[in-house]
Amino acid sequence: MKPMGSIPAEFRGDGPLIIAGKTAEQWIQVAGDTPLFVYEAGMVTARIARLRAAMPAGIDVHYAIKANPFAPLIAAMAPLVDGLDIASKGEMALALAAKPGSAISFAGPGKRDDEIAAAVEAGVTLNLESEGEAKRALVAAERLGVTPRLAVRVNPEIELRGSGMRMGGRASPFGVDSDRAGALAKQVIAAGADWRGFHIFAGSQALDPQAIIETQAETLALAGRLADEVGVTPPLVNLGGGFGIPYFPGEEPIDVEAIGAALSERMTSLPDSLKGARFAIELGRWLVGEAGVYLTRVIDRKESRGEAFLVVDGGLHHQLAASGNFGTVVKRNYPVAVATAQKDAPVETVSVVGCLCTPLDRLADRVSLPEAHPGDVIAVFMAGAYGLSASPAAFLGHALPAQILAG
């Protein structure tokens, strides 16, 4: 038997799984079929409220819609956050449906000319990733007769310790190395652009609050040095995110209150060059990841050479990360449950495999679950971020799953 991650507290309980007041079968009836994703809106709202309460005043909250671009979810979150962060023209269309261009910023190392022009025209802030991109943005703005909103994305010397994905502290395709970022800001100011400040993102998916506290302190110090160099207070300093969620055995939710307390203290002793600046924290996964549940029905139950398998009608084509094939080296088990299990069902060791005809399609490897049979429903948790949109949905020609914003 292998361990699995912890089921989010909101979904724990003795009886069948309840999501926003309904059972799995009730949600399946709403959707019309399995598999499907259900996102519990109340959990997202609660995350935002908890973050607001923890963070000092003057800290904006941004949602990075790459984590989950489901339009009803974006619409529900937009009034609750200060900004939306996007990574393509496709995401820009989604964001502009929910927020004005002035509340949207666009990061990404390979922005095409047509994307740059569309963003400039819509008043979206471009987080410039290179000197070359700055030139292209200025040319596009000139042609359009628009003052472009330009921030400088910085590749910091800072590394977020223990983060699932490091984005700083090394040679990187993201942003401009910190020793050149001040000069680029001066250039865009001199060119007449509306300079929006700095975007500094050191990593993501960290679970150690102390690592985030240290990184935020170093990020503020770096922003202060850069602002000194530019000689202008940056309108906004995007401190990045990095707040992780506990996917795997032994992992714990991060203590955002501790992070907020440390940041509050740090804000009382800002360098002069940052006084009057606004600050933003940009989060994707932490806001929405735990709120999503992927529901998939057991099609077959089989035994092979002494092992039991539950074959479900979903799979890695919808939940690639749960199968251990996206950005993870060692395959570990996401939390899963038999959504339809009764309280005293016997427990067994079983693997949950998807319907795809590939050995990669394993959603849970030899976990301990209540005994399930064809017709039962399996819940895969932690499915709210980097789920459907980050999976190869067309692989093997299955239908797209339904998505429901619940509550």
Residues 108-127 that bind a second copy (CB under 8 A): 108-112
Residue 359 in the binding site for a second copy (CB under 8 A): yes
Residue 7 DSSP one-character state: P
Q: Could you tell me the maximum CA-CA distance found in the chain, to the nearest angstrom?
A: 72
In one-letter notation, the amino acid at residue 22 is K
Site size for a second copy (CB under 8 A): 71
Q: How far apart are CA 110 and CA 108, in angstroms?
A: 6
Nearer Cβ to a second copy (149/166): 166
* Cβ–Cβ under 8 Å, residues 228 and 273: yes
The least CB distance from residue 140 to a second copy, in Å, is 14
Helix, strand or coil for residue 397? helix
Q: Report the residue from 160, 351, 376, 379 that binds a second copy according to the rule CB under 8 A.
A: 351
Q: Quick one: 270 or 393, whose CB is closer to a second copy?
A: 393
- Within 8 A by CB and 6+ apart from 46, the residues are none
Cβ-based nearer residue to a second copy, 66 or 196: 66
d(CA 249, CA 332): 8
Report the distance separating Cα 287 and Cα 386, nearest Å: 12
Alpha-carbon span 24 to 376, nearest angstrom = 10
Q: What residues numbered 140-199 form the site for a second copy, per CB under 8 A?
A: 155, 165-167, 170-174, 177
CB of 97 to a second copy, least distance (A): 13
Q: Which is closer to a second copy, CB of 303 or CB of 344?
A: 303
Q: Which of 225, 261, 358, 371 binds a second copy (CB under 8 A)?
A: 358
Tell me the residue ranges of DSSP E strands in 239-318: 278-283, 292-304, 307-312
SS3 call for 277? coil
130 vs 340 by CB, closer to a second copy: 130
Question: Is the previous residue joined to 209 through a cis bond, with omega within 30 degrees of 0?
Answer: no
CB of 55 to a second copy, least distance (A): 24
**What minimum distance in Å lies between the beta carbon of 53 and a second copy?**
29
Scanning 19-27, 257-265, 269-277, 294-302 for contacts with a second copy by CB under 8 A, the matching segment is 294-302
Alpha carbons 106 and 181: distance in angstroms, whole number: 17
| Selected binder of a second copy within 44, 341, 355, 382 (CB under 8 A) | 355
Applying CB under 8 A, the span of 8-16, 131-139, 244-252, 339-347 interacting with a second copy comes to 131-139
Pick the closer one to a second copy by CB: 111 or 149.
111
Least distance between a second copy and beta carbon 268 (Å):
33
Over the window 67 to 106, marking each residue x when it contacts a second copy by CB under 8 A and - when it does not, the resulting string is: --x----------------xxxxxx-xx------------
Among 125, 130, 187, 403, binds a second copy (CB under 8 A): 130
Q: Rule CB under 8 A: choose which of 350, 356, 380, 404 binds a second copy.
A: 356
Find the shortest distance in angstroms from Cβ 179 to a second copy: 9
Q: Residue 7 to residues 4, 10, 244, 245: CA-CA distances in angstroms? A: 9, 8, 15, 11
Site string for a second copy, 233-272 (x = CB under 8 A): ----------------------------------------
Judged by beta carbon, residue 15 or residue 359, the one nearer a second copy is 359
Residue type at 75 in one-letter notation = A
Interaction between residue 326 and a second copy (CB under 8 A): yes
Q: Is 212 helix (H, G, I), strand (E, B) or coil?
A: helix
CA dihedral 3, 4, 5, 11 (to 10 degrees): -130
Restricting to residues 363-402, name those near a second copy by CB under 8 A. 374, 388-399
Q: Could you tell me which residues come within 8 angstroms of residue 405 by beta carbon, excluding any fewer than 6 positions away?
A: 39, 41, 70, 72, 73, 76
Instruction: Out of 42, 100, 327, 375, point to the residue binding a second copy (CB under 8 A).
Output: 327
302-321 residues in contact with a second copy (CB under 8 A) are 302, 304-307, 309, 311-313, 315, 320
- Which residues does 382 contact at the CB level (< 8 Å), separation at least 6? 5, 8, 245, 247, 289, 290, 292, 322, 334, 335
- Shortest Cβ distance from residue 379 to a second copy (Å)? 17
Residues 11-70 within binding reach of a second copy (CB under 8 A): 66, 69
Q: Chain centroid to CA 15: how far?
A: 30
